[in-house]
Amino acid sequence: MSQTNINPAELQKFDGYLDAWWDLAGPADGLHKITPLRILFIEKFVNLTDAKVLDVGCGGGILSEAMARRGADVFGIDASKVAVGAARGHAGTAELAVRYDVITAEDLCSECSQKYDLITCVEMLEHVPDPKSVIKACSQMLAPGGTIVLSTIDRTLVSWLSIVAIGEWVLRLLPVGTHTYRGLIRKDEMIEWAQSAGLRPKMSRNLHYNPFSGQYALSEGGPRVIYLCAFQKV
């Protein structure tokens, strides 16, 4: 596997999750809680039943499994052997026919001609050296008229305070050091990269967390901390 667009330090962080991906009391708990909202957003554009889906940066398979349960034919990829091992193990236990491989989006794009109805890449782009390269590769693997859903954290002071200072340091929702400010991506940057890759913006939503209720919600307005963007292949 090419190491061109992999940050070894970032990869090591997620290798450390090991069996924590499916521990609802562990560091991935927030990912489990926001997955229904991700599915709600995705299904505004794609009927998941029988859809061919590529989940880039699938981690332990949380979103991959959720889409498979909605009837999608899902292929999850990740650069972490540990994460893919956890994903395969859990899918086997759950008797879900989700395929996984240890490979980057760029390498997959260079070696296969498969086109996907939907590509998802959520909370992954902030962890690679060149997120624009991932978006370009994903666009090339998307079928004409297909949809890509990207989600990441905005690069603002509010985001840093919410995700790092409060989320990691105070509430310990994530391990300390999971995110760095310079790795965060402004929404306008994301849109520019997507458009340069031949993708047309369809919709965006902000994902909010209420620390008092412990609940997450999607909205059009409010502080943009975590955001989801849907694009269509032109």
pLDDT digit string, tens, across residues 142-156: 999 999 999 998 887
Long-range Cβ contact pairs of 7-10 (< 8 A, separation 24 or more): 7/127, 7/128, 7/129, 10/127, 10/128
Establish if 110 belongs to a structural domain.
yes
Q: What is the pLDDT of residues 190-202, one digit of tens each?
A: 999 999 999 999 9
For the chain, what is the domain count? 1
- Alpha-carbon Rg for the chain in angstroms: 16
Tens digits of residue pLDDT in 55-105? 999 999 999 999 999 999 999 999 999 999 999 999 999 999 999 999 999
CATH number at residue 84: 3.40.50.150
Token pair of 212, please? 């008092």
% helix, strand, coil for the chain, step of 5: 40, 25, 35
Host domain of residue 38: 8-233
pTM, to two decimals: 0.90
